[in-house]
Amino acid sequence: MKKTFVLVVLFILPIVAYLFFASGINNFGRLPTLTENVSDISTIDANVALKDKITILGFLGNDLENQKGNAFNLNQKIYKRFYEFNDFQFVMLVPKGNERKVAELKEDLGNLTNMVKWNFVYANETQIKDFFDTLKTDLTLDENLATPYVFIIDKDRNLRGRTNDEDDGTKYGFNTRSVAELNNKMEDDVKIILAEYRMALKRNNANRKNQ
């Protein structure tokens, strides 16, 4: 009896614990909707759309040199982990005239990962400000039309985030300057929204089979 108990403790419980934490909060929660009907980026660039995509949205601004570290953090901690999921994309708004700087950034990041899901949209100052305003957050763009925060937009163009974050209360975006925040918060929230759509797809497939 004692041997059986020891075997359970040594082998079975670690497996159960692993499965629990691997699935994490994804199976038990839904990421709150903070803003509905965010404007579609296709109004600025017809080749890129938010509709029917899970999007990580960012605003790089004019000073891309100071944004490279943030882009690197985001690429390493979020993009590389999730870019192979269907309908997942990154969309970065950049003021027109920064095409050369973006090409350099893409080359730097491209040495580390496949850039297939990174999209850069060029817009004028008014377009960028108006688009940012549709997010309806408590954040602002700086004088370079940039913010270190990125945002999770679902397939219905809704901004998702947290309503009871332990640090911010309502959390609209994730600070790319903070590797800890990307690791401990954003990664979890991206997992949640991807799990939502996987579960919805499974339900739809099951319903079709039962019809």
The domain limits of the chain are 1-30, 31-210
Contacts of 32 (CB under 8 A, 6+ apart): 160, 161, 162, 163
- pLDDT score for 197: 85
Interval 201-209 mean pLDDT: 57
Share of the chain above pLDDT 70, in %: 81
Rounded to the nearest 10 degrees, what angle do helices 99-110 and 64-74 cross at? 30
Label residue 206 by pLDDT band (50, 70, 90): low
- pLDDT score for 199: 82
| pLDDT surpassing 50 at residue 143 | yes
- pLDDT score for 8: 46
Interval 54-72 mean pLDDT: 96
Greater pLDDT, 140 or 211: 140
Average pLDDT, the chain: 87
- pLDDT score for 198: 83
Q: For residues 131 and 39, give the distance between their C-alpha atoms in angstroms, rounded to a whole number.
A: 6
Half-sphere exposure (CA, 13 Å, Cβ side) for 26? 21
User: Hey, what CATH class is 31-210 in?
Assistant: alpha beta
Share of the chain above pLDDT 90, in %: 78
Q: For residues 95 and 59, give the distance between their C-alpha atoms in angstroms, rounded to a whole number.
A: 9
| pLDDT surpassing 60 at residue 34 | yes
Rg value, the chain, Cα: 20
Q: For residues 45 and 181, give the distance between their C-alpha atoms in angstroms, rounded to a whole number.
A: 30
- pLDDT score for 20: 41
- pLDDT score for 28: 46
Lowest mean pLDDT among 78-82, 115-119, 203-207: 203-207
Q: For residues 139 and 137, give the distance between their C-alpha atoms in angstroms, rounded to a whole number.
A: 5
Structure tokens at 20: 């629990």
Query: Could you tell me if 77 and 90 are in contact, meaning their C-beta atoms sit under 8 angstroms apart?
Result: no
Query: Could you tell me if 105 and 64 are in contact, meaning their C-beta atoms sit under 8 angstroms apart?
Result: yes
Label residue 30 by pLDDT band (50, 70, 90): confident
Tell me how many degrees the CA angle 48-49-52 measures, rounded to the nearest 5: 140
Label residue 26 by pLDDT band (50, 70, 90): very low
